[in-house]
Structures are given as C-alpha cells and as structure tokens.
Structure 1
C-alpha cells in the first residue's frame, strides 16, 4: 500500500510538471559541437520549433561559434540541400536572438567585426537571468 501511495504521489508530481510546462515556453538551444551533422540537426529542430510558435534563442559556444563568423562555411545536407549556417541565418531573419559565448572571441583571434551581422556576444549575467526564467527549456548539442 505504501508503495502504491508513493507511486501515485510521484505520478501526480510529474503531471503537475507537465501542466506547468507550456508548449510555448522558450527553447534555449546551446550548440557546442563542431560536427556539421549535429549542427544541422540542432538548426532543423530550432527552426521547426520556431515554426510552431515556440520562442527560440541560440547560444553558440566552443567550435560551434565558428558558425557565427562571416567567412565560415558549412556543408549542405539532404534532403533540403541547406547548411547549418543557412538555417541559422533563417532563424535570425525571423528574429531569433543568436549569440556567441562570452569567452568565444577573447580566446580566439577574432573580434566582433568577424561575426555575421545580428550576432552578439552573450553577457553571462544576462544569460543567467534568461536561464532562470520559469519554463525555459534547454536543448544542448
């Protein structure tokens, strides 16, 4: 009996979490992988989420920050014959905030002038404020 009560309390707790999570809560996509296929999947899922009216924000860290550079290229993938960089630019054109990690530029031979227009440098205190908002969902690649 005690096990059944514990199970029901746990089940109710998960049901409460599901109710608290809204389908339109922001999606925070943090991309660190330098693998082009992984980058593509992250951008595809971010785009699909945005197309379903889910607010999306993207943070590019580590080698994935190279996607933000004006002179970088990324390969195209079937079946859409598009690249992760093209999808990233599409997200930006739809108003998605895209930043590189605050430590990306200072630890490479790049400056903000090397970034594509519209891409910023994340300020850790501001990102922390965003992350602590209720309902923010995380997608990390």
Structure 2
C-alpha cells in the first residue's frame, strides 16, 4: 500500500513538472486564422472576443467569414446586442479591424447570396482559396473554427 502511494505521488509530481515545463516552452502563436461560419450571435461574438484577446497578446489575426457569419461583413447587418459588454458581433469585428485584423468573406459567400462586393463593410475583402490554403498550411498559423 505504501509503495502504491509513493508511485502515485511520483507520477503526479512527474506530470506536474512535465506540464509546467511544457507551459514554459510553449511559443506564442504568431498568426491566427479564425474561421467563423456559425449563424449563432453568441458563437460569432465569442469568436470575436477570443480573437481580440489573442490580438492583445500580439497574435496577428485573420478572420474568414463564411455561410451565415458572412452576414457580419455586410453594411446593412445590425445584430442584437450581446451582454455583458453591450456590443454586437459586428462592432467587435470592427474593433479587430481597427487594431489590424484582416477580414474576408469566403469566396463562395457572395456568389451564393443576393449580395455583392459593394455591400461589404469597409476593409472587408473576398478571400482567395489559394491564400487561405496557404495560411492553413503555414506552420506558424493556428486555425480556429467557430
């Protein structure tokens, strides 16, 4: 019984040490590609909040808006306010852009909607699949999907 406790204690100590060492050596993420396709306002808002937090930590942010999330890129979109900050997903998106984030809609968004490029918010582009594929396969880029 005593040997079992010692073995468990030793294993726990080894795991804690390994976890602490891994944390110390984990590099910051240089670039992040945040792909948002959910139509849920809470999901869209949380994607923007997390992207903003990463941006504040020095990560370069690229946002790709697809499917229903592409509507955030439209000038006419006015979503409901989300609590606790009382902001909309598109306001959070604009704040990310002001801080340097690049925002694009998916290449399929406009051709499969009733909208055109002139209806996009200022600074929002249309993604080129080859460019997105390059980001997705870049070893320095983390891809997050919402």
- The normalised TM-score by structure 1 is 0.83
| Alpha-carbon distance, 1:48 to partner | 0.7
Which digits, 9 at most, give the CA deviation of each residue in 1:48-79, with x for residues without a partner?
11011111110000010000000001111121
Q: For the Cα contact (< 8 Å) 1:29–1:42, is it kept in 2?
A: yes
* SS of corresponding position for 1:98: strand
| Alpha-carbon distance, 1:131 to partner | 1.6
Out of 28, 45, 59, the residue aligned to residue 23 of structure 1 is 28
Q: For the Cα contact (< 8 Å) 2:30–2:58, is it kept in 1?
A: no
Computed over aligned residues only, the root mean square deviation of the Cα atoms, in angstroms, reads 1.8
Task: Give the equivalent residue in structure 1 for 2:45.
Answer: 40
Task: Give the equivalent residue in structure 1 for 2:66.
Answer: 61
Q: Decide which moves more: 95-104 or 123-132.
A: 123-132
* SS of corresponding position for 1:86: helix
* SS of corresponding position for 1:28: strand
Q: For the Cα contact (< 8 Å) 1:56–1:96, is it kept in 2?
A: yes
| Alpha-carbon distance, 1:109 to partner | 1.0
The answer to whether the aligner puts 1:107 opposite 2:117 as a matched pair is no
Count of paired positions: 126
Segments of 5+ residues of structure 1 without an aligned counterpart are: 1-11
Larger Rg: 2
Out of 112, 126, 145, the residue aligned to residue 140 of structure 1 is 145
Segments of 5+ residues of structure 2 without an aligned counterpart are: 1-17
